[in-house]
A and B are shown apart, each in its own frame.
Chain A
Amino acid sequence: MKPAPFRYERPTTLEEAVSLLAGDEEAKLIAGGQSLLPLLSLRLARPSVLVDLDGIDELTAINLDPAGSVVRFGAMVRHHISASQTHHPLVADAAGWIGHTAIRSRGTIGGSLAHADPAAELPAVALALDATMHVLGPRGARSVPASNFFVGTFQTALAADELLVDVDFPIPRRWGFAEVARKHGDFALVLVVAAELQDGWRLVAGGLGGTPIRLTAAEAALDAGVDPAEAGAAAQSAVDPVAHLHASSAYLAAMAGTLVTKALANVSVDTRNRDR
């Protein structure tokens, strides 16, 4: 379990990183390395050059917008920082579910989103909140809404020569988060994010397929005024999860329903700005 040979670069500016990435088709970015390093060791990933984002200080900022409604996270914000920051309580809740202390100390928000594990916490949060991904590449900067960002299992809208710079997470009025996993700190079997935005409830589940998915039937039912149990039932009957080693399809679907109910039954309210 030793990686195949690769070169290593540690740029200190975004421009330098973009040019390193553009200069080599087989280049790969590394953030916290919590998923990439095992893939390197297993030789499932074989980049020619690793471009380490650790030296780019501007990627570690967290900023609340002046209106107090959106928090911008730099891609290199570590999970333990996301979990302890107070600007965005839902991101903090979700980040606390990621792995163990050692993993949260290294893993980053941008790394988690760009890696796009179908059972990871933050992609589901991003989808639920209509987060906006700010991306930089040799053709310049662009923004990608979360609804277009997650394409498939470990696949995103990022081009091979693009890097995720930062992400805008709107702050929901109310939110809930629930997860079942085989073990403490494991990727979820199923997780559910419930978030009330300006235009109504968002319900997103992770672990049911290649990407996090919106539970639109349950959202509509909820906006029409059903109770959490009924919303859960609506979610369960609308999904068709892919079975895997640790769970059957029926179980995963049932968990989607159970966790919708649980997330909605335990919603938190942002009391800091009642005007929103």
Chain B
Amino acid sequence: MAHVAFVRSIVAHARITGIDTTEAEALPGVRRVFTADSPALMGLGLRAKSALPRYVETEQPALARGVVRFVGEAVAAVVADDRYLAEDGAELVVVDDEPLGVSIRAWDPPAAPLHHQAPDNVLVHRVFERGDPETILSQAHTVVRRSLITNRHAGNPLECRATVALWDDHDHLTLWSGTQIPHLVRNILAELLGVSESNVRVIAPDVGGGFGVKAVLYPEDLAICAMARTMVGTPLKWVEDRVEHLHAATHARDHRYDVTAGFAEDGELVALDVDAWCNVGAYSVSPWTAGIEPLMAGGLFTGPYRLDHYRCEVRGVATNTSPSGPYRGVARPATVFAMEAILDSGARALGMSGAEIRRRNLIRPTDIPYRMPTGLVDDSGHYLECLEQALDIIGYDALVAEQARRRAANDKPLGIGFAVYNELTGLGRAASAGPRMPFRTGHEACTVRVNPDGKLVVLSGVTSQGQGLETTLAQVVADAVGVGYDHVEVRYGDTNESLWGFGAFSSRQAVIAGGAASTAAVAVRDQILELAADLYEANRDDLRLSDGRIMVVGSPQPIGSLADLARVAYLESNRLPKGHSPGLEATRFYDPVLGAFAGGAQVAAVEVDTATGELTVLDWVCVEDSGRVINAQIVEGQVMGSLAQGLGGALYEHLVYDRDGNLVTGTLLDYLMPSGAETPEFRLGHLEHPADNPLGVRGVGEGGTLGPAAVLAGAVADAIGLEIDRLPITPSRLWVLLHEGNR
């Protein structure tokens, strides 16, 4: 094995005038040094594609070619006997450059174009429009405006990215990768490297944490595969370190929303006008494109609220920062913050409570199917029930009384914050059409196979980031077939084993992979019972499979077992009844076509220390409609984890670039992650309104992240009477706000 270290740019935007690798190549232990000019990498780059009319396609080279566009971009790669030597070699590579103008904020005038195809740096631009918001706003009883800025985050899984690439002498590539999307990676790599897909095997055994940042095909992956191809038989290994992760893995949530909302006297939201800027970083991320955040921002801004008159103009603007990509909640934590903030402003202007204005505007079950102003169809409508349950659990009336008592006594201020949201989960081919990419992520394949010993293997295209997918899918298949849970082995994350899967993102695994597993399992059960009926000369409709035994309805004694049947199906074809072929196996694709909206509500009570600007969470309740719960512990774990992650984003996590494009939060000393000590005791409630899919499930992977910024900002504003327009909410900022007020 040989080890790779990348030489990364220390300047944010510059023309490369020369790269001198001679000293590095001379270092003992260094085997090869690659740049964009190396034959293996010549012309190699990622191109995220979309057919949207105002999308500008650009290229992200495997290693920077001619120009560097952000601090941390890989400029050269050193291959050495171990990682220490590789890093020693990387230090010796000399990059000469001529500086170019640096842009770091999406809403500032561009300093210099990053890509010649987009002179204004706007890579994607779209206007969502319905009704006549301009007229309605001009006539509205009350109009409120907010300008809200959200903070750039990193995904920061405990386990960073990792890649090992090995080519054999028949031009076969095996890539061990911590990727959430192994089949897509195979598909794109095969095309870019000019080999058949059957020559590429991607193995993603235990991905580690992902949160979306590993659902991206990175230039480093492409570079390593291309470099390894020139070193047949030598596996090339690279494990991202934390500094690389913070600098060069995808970022998210660096947005600004200028929001104008019109309300009727009774609190009805009548019109909404939004201008949004999303900082998409230096490149359009593969394969999701620079549209991933802006399109989600505009497409779902209004969330679970009824609205007829809507305009939202979104821009994805390139800057000299690390590319933005998918990250748990994709833009929704930012847009929920903005949407809830404008509702809170409306409530204050109208003298209503935060609870009341939400009750007034939420989509109701009677509105379902509700066509949202952007055309998405809401199948849920259970938002008010989520909110009411959350208010009930937290004891809303008592909190309001306590707040009044504290105000009267001049005691530490207490605020109550709300977030009601919907997350579009398990997106089928229609729901995933928005970005107009050259693929639709609506489906997933699953194979359920009975082995000759009667035990089951499930081959799924999902990947696991620790969500317990093995458990969930084993439960689904065991229940559908009628065998013991321990007799089901789930295998995933290997493109040579499963037929096809898009992988883990968009809270889709339970809905889509679960749907495929369930459908395939039902088909296998039918095969088993049909074989049993003919073999045992029984009526098919009277047969049941329970715990691996073939039962006749009404009789306590089994007439056979799955193990017996499997033996016949595989080993004793002489005993197969007429019309039966050997084997017991089914492969099914499942696509829900639309998606399943998962509703949720969060309410929290927060105390503000006006002397220090510190917050204390007194109580926090989250109620989500997860549809049918397959495994309660797994669902609760997902919700708890996403709440903690959302809280981290609201209070601690912030990637800060200085005006020269240097990342000043390049280690965990300054990029603050929440720990157990920062995480309050969240209390959960559950609704189980089944969705229209085989298992009745709704995705729960992301919803929790949507609420905390809105909840905390709303609670602080409620406590101190000053609006929070910027995230994160830090003690210093809050103290300044308390002492200087809203400027």
Given the known inter-chain contacts A38-B667, A255-B612, please indicate yes or no for A183 contacting B736, CB distance below 8 A: no
Within 8 A of B (CB), among A215-264: 245-248, 250-252, 254-255, 258
Q: Could you tell me the distance between the alpha carbons of A43 and B84 in the complex, rounded to whole angstroms?
A: 11
Interface flag for B349 (CB, 8 Å)? no
Q: Could you give, for residues 149-182 of chain A, a 1 whenever the CB lies within 8 Å of some chain B CB and a 0 otherwise?
A: 0000000000000000000000000000000101
Contacting residue for B731 out of A182, A184, A245, A250, CB 8 A: A182
Indicate if the CB atoms of A184 and B612 lie closer than 8 Å: no
Within 8 A of B (CB), among A102-118: none
Q: Could you tell me the distance between the alpha carbons of A131 and B664 in the complex, rounded to whole angstroms?
A: 35
Interface flag for A67 (CB, 8 Å)? no
Indicate if the CB atoms of A2 and B87 lie closer than 8 Å: yes
Q: Could you tell me the distance between the alpha carbons of A186 and B731 in the complex, rounded to whole angstroms?
A: 14
Indicate if the CB atoms of A245 and B652 lie closer than 8 Å: no
B664 partner residues in chain A, CB cutoff 8 A:
245
Interface flag for A5 (CB, 8 Å)? yes
Indicate if the CB atoms of A185 and B739 lie closer than 8 Å: no
Query: Among the listed stretches B249-257, B627-635, B670-678, B681-689, which one makes contact with chain A, having 4 or more residues with CB under 8 Å of it?
Result: B670-678
Contacting residue for B732 out of A38, A184, A247, CB 8 A: A247
B678 partner residues in chain A, CB cutoff 8 A:
183-184
Indicate if the CB atoms of A251 and B677 lie closer than 8 Å: no
The closest CB in chain A to the CB of B242 belongs to A1
Q: Could you give, for residues 40-77 of chain A, a 1 whenever the CB lies within 8 Å of some chain B CB and a 0 otherwise?
A: 00110000000000000000000000000000000000
Contacting residue for B83 out of A2, A5, A180, A186, CB 8 A: A2
B675 partner residues in chain A, CB cutoff 8 A:
183-185
Indicate if the CB atoms of B611 and A251 lie closer than 8 Å: no
Indicate if the CB atoms of A250 and B736 lie closer than 8 Å: yes
Most chain A Cβ neighbours within 10 Å, of B656, B670, B674, B735: B735
Indicate if the CB atoms of A182 and B730 lie closer than 8 Å: yes
B652 partner residues in chain A, CB cutoff 8 A:
182-183
Indicate if the CB atoms of B730 and A185 lie closer than 8 Å: no
Q: Could you give, for residues 242-278 of chain B, a 1 whenever the CB lies within 8 Å of some chain A CB and a 0 otherwise?
A: 1100000000000000000000000000000000000
* Least CB distance, B741 to chain A, in whole angstroms: 14
Interface flag for B721 (CB, 8 Å)? no
Contacting residue for A42 out of B88, B243, B656, B732, CB 8 A: B243
Interface flag for B91 (CB, 8 Å)? yes
Q: Could you tell me the distance between the alpha carbons of A252 and B732 in the complex, rounded to whole angstroms?
A: 8
Q: Could you tell me the distance between the alpha carbons of A61 and B243 in the complex, rounded to whole angstroms?
A: 38
* Least CB distance, B489 to chain A, in whole angstroms: 37
Indicate if the CB atoms of A43 and B242 lie closer than 8 Å: no
Q: Could you tell me the distance between the alpha carbons of A3 and B88 in the complex, rounded to whole angstroms?
A: 9
B91 partner residues in chain A, CB cutoff 8 A:
4, 43
Contacting residue for B613 out of A1, A2, A5, A251, CB 8 A: A251
Number of interface residues of A (CB under 8 A): 26
The closest CB in chain B to the CB of A180 belongs to B612
Contacting residue for A246 out of B667, B730, B739, CB 8 A: B730
Within 8 A of A (CB), among B705-738: 730-732, 735-736
* Least CB distance, A155 to chain B, in whole angstroms: 19
B87 partner residues in chain A, CB cutoff 8 A:
1-2, 43
* Least CB distance, B85 to chain A, in whole angstroms: 9
The closest CB in chain A to the CB of B241 belongs to A1
Interface flag for B665 (CB, 8 Å)? yes
Indicate if the CB atoms of B243 and A1 lie closer than 8 Å: yes
A248 partner residues in chain B, CB cutoff 8 A:
732, 736
Q: Could you give, for residues 189-203 of chain A, a 1 whenever the CB lies within 8 Å of some chain B CB and a 0 otherwise?
A: 100000000000000
Most chain B Cβ neighbours within 10 Å, of A5, A38, A43, A182: A182
Indicate if the CB atoms of A251 and B243 lie closer than 8 Å: no
A182 partner residues in chain B, CB cutoff 8 A:
652, 672, 730-731
A187 partner residues in chain B, CB cutoff 8 A:
669
The closest CB in chain A to the CB of B665 belongs to A245
* Least CB distance, A201 to chain B, in whole angstroms: 22
Indicate if the CB atoms of B736 and A251 lie closer than 8 Å: yes
B731 partner residues in chain A, CB cutoff 8 A:
180, 182, 189, 247, 251
* Least CB distance, A266 to chain B, in whole angstroms: 14
* Least CB distance, B527 to chain A, in whole angstroms: 53
Indicate if the CB atoms of B735 and A183 lie closer than 8 Å: no
* Least CB distance, A243 to chain B, in whole angstroms: 9
Interface flag for B614 (CB, 8 Å)? yes
* Least CB distance, B609 to chain A, in whole angstroms: 9
B736 partner residues in chain A, CB cutoff 8 A:
248, 250-251
* Least CB distance, A255 to chain B, in whole angstroms: 7
* Least CB distance, A41 to chain B, in whole angstroms: 8
* Least CB distance, A252 to chain B, in whole angstroms: 8
Indicate if the CB atoms of A258 and B611 lie closer than 8 Å: yes
Within 8 A of A (CB), among B200-225: none
* Least CB distance, B487 to chain A, in whole angstroms: 41
Indicate if the CB atoms of A251 and B732 lie closer than 8 Å: yes
A184 partner residues in chain B, CB cutoff 8 A:
675, 677-678
Q: Could you tell me the distance between the alpha carbons of A254 and B677 in the complex, rounded to whole angstroms?
A: 25
Indicate if the CB atoms of B735 and A251 lie closer than 8 Å: yes
The closest CB in chain B to the CB of A41 belongs to B241
Contacting residue for A183 out of B665, B677, B739, CB 8 A: B677
Indicate if the CB atoms of B656 and A245 lie closer than 8 Å: yes
The closest CB in chain B to the CB of A247 belongs to B732
Given the known inter-chain contacts A184-B675, A184-B678, please indicate yes or no for A2 contacting B84, CB distance below 8 A: yes
B656 partner residues in chain A, CB cutoff 8 A:
245
Q: Could you tell me the distance between the alpha carbons of A247 and B612 in the complex, rounded to whole angstroms?
A: 11
Indicate if the CB atoms of B735 and A254 lie closer than 8 Å: yes
* Least CB distance, B470 to chain A, in whole angstroms: 30
B735 partner residues in chain A, CB cutoff 8 A:
251, 254
The closest CB in chain B to the CB of A3 belongs to B84
Within 8 A of A (CB), among B176-215: none
Q: Could you tell me the distance between the alpha carbons of A189 and B613 in the complex, rounded to whole angstroms?
A: 12
A3 partner residues in chain B, CB cutoff 8 A:
84
The closest CB in chain B to the CB of A252 belongs to B732
Q: Could you give, for residues 485-505 of chain B, a 1 whenever the CB lies within 8 Å of some chain A CB and a 0 otherwise?
A: 000000000000000000000
Most chain A Cβ neighbours within 10 Å, of B87, B88, B241, B611: B611
Within 8 A of A (CB), among B449-496: none
Most chain B Cβ neighbours within 10 Å, of A5, A38, A246, A248: A246
The closest CB in chain A to the CB of B670 belongs to A245
The closest CB in chain A to the CB of B734 belongs to A251
* Least CB distance, B491 to chain A, in whole angstroms: 34
* Least CB distance, A254 to chain B, in whole angstroms: 7
* Least CB distance, B714 to chain A, in whole angstroms: 22
* Least CB distance, A210 to chain B, in whole angstroms: 17
Contacting residue for B614 out of A42, A180, A246, CB 8 A: A180
The closest CB in chain B to the CB of A255 belongs to B612
* Least CB distance, A82 to chain B, in whole angstroms: 21
* Least CB distance, B312 to chain A, in whole angstroms: 33
Within 8 A of A (CB), among B509-566: none
Q: Could you tell me the distance between the alpha carbons of A247 and B242 in the complex, rounded to whole angstroms?
A: 24
* Least CB distance, A45 to chain B, in whole angstroms: 14
Q: Could you tell me the distance between the alpha carbons of A238 and B334 in the complex, rounded to whole angstroms?
A: 40
Q: Could you tell me the distance between the alpha carbons of A1 and B242 in the complex, rounded to whole angstroms?
A: 8
Q: Could you tell me the distance between the alpha carbons of A146 and B677 in the complex, rounded to whole angstroms?
A: 33
Q: Could you tell me the distance between the alpha carbons of A120 and B739 in the complex, rounded to whole angstroms?
A: 28
The closest CB in chain A to the CB of B730 belongs to A246
The closest CB in chain B to the CB of A186 belongs to B672
Indicate if the CB atoms of B667 and A183 lie closer than 8 Å: no
Q: Could you give, for residues 641-680 of chain B, a 1 whenever the CB lies within 8 Å of some chain A CB and a 0 otherwise?
A: 0000000000010001000000011010110101101100
Could you list 5 further interchain pairs (A-B, Cβ under 8 angstroms) beyond the known A2-B87, A246-B730?
Answer: A3-B84, A4-B88, A182-B731, A187-B669, A251-B736
Can you name 24 A-B residue pairings with CB atoms under 8 Å? A1-B87, A1-B242, A2-B83, A4-B88, A4-B91, A5-B84, A38-B669, A180-B612, A180-B614, A183-B652, A183-B672, A183-B674, A184-B675, A186-B672, A189-B732, A245-B656, A245-B664, A245-B670, A246-B732, A251-B732, A251-B736, A254-B739, A255-B612, A258-B612
Give me the 4 closest cross-chain CB pairs, A-B, nearest first: A184-B677, A247-B732, A1-B241, A251-B732
Q: Which residues of B contact A (CB under 8 A)?
A: 83-84, 87-88, 91, 241-243, 611-614, 652, 656, 664-665, 667, 669-670, 672, 674-675, 677-678, 730-732, 735-736, 739
